[in-house]
Structure 1
């Protein structure tokens, strides 16, 4: 199975297959469930709002919206 990784200046973000679709993670925190990896990348690039990221504005981290700009990782 494959997922996606983006290394930002604040740490790595992952988009991985989850129980009911896809999950975005940062560190040991799950940031939310998404219907597709593209939706997760879009939300992270535009500024995902969730309690786990109260100190970080993801829209300021230059996270790419295009999944082709993310590293492919295998699980």
Structure 2
């Protein structure tokens, strides 16, 4: 199985297969579940609102919307 990783200046973001779709995470914090990895990348790039990231606006981290710009990781 494959997932996706993006290393930002604030740390690594992951989009990995979850129980009911795809799960985005930052460090050890889960940021939410999504129907597709593309939806997760879009939400992270545009600015995901999450209690775990109250001090970080993901839209300022230059997270790419295109999954082809993310690193592929095998899980």
Structure 1 residue ranges without an equivalent (≥5): none
Who is 1:8 aligned against?
A: 8
Partner of 1:25, secondary structure, is strand
**Alignment of structure 1 residues 31-70 onto 2, 5 Å:** 31-70=31-70
Q: In structure 2, the residue corresponding to 1:65 is in which secondary structure?
A: coil
For residues 27-57 of structure 1, the C-alpha deviation after alignment (integer angstroms, 9 at most, x for no partner) is: 0000000000000000000000010110100
Query: How far off is 1:62 after superposition?
Result: 0.1
Rounded to whole Å, the distance in 2 between the matches of 1:52 and 1:33 is 14
Moved over 4 A (4+): none
Gaps of 5+ in 2: none
- In 2: Cα distance, 1:37 partner to 1:3 partner: 8
* SS of residue paired to 2:6: strand
- In the aligned structure 2, how far is the partner of 1:33 from the partner of 1:9? 23
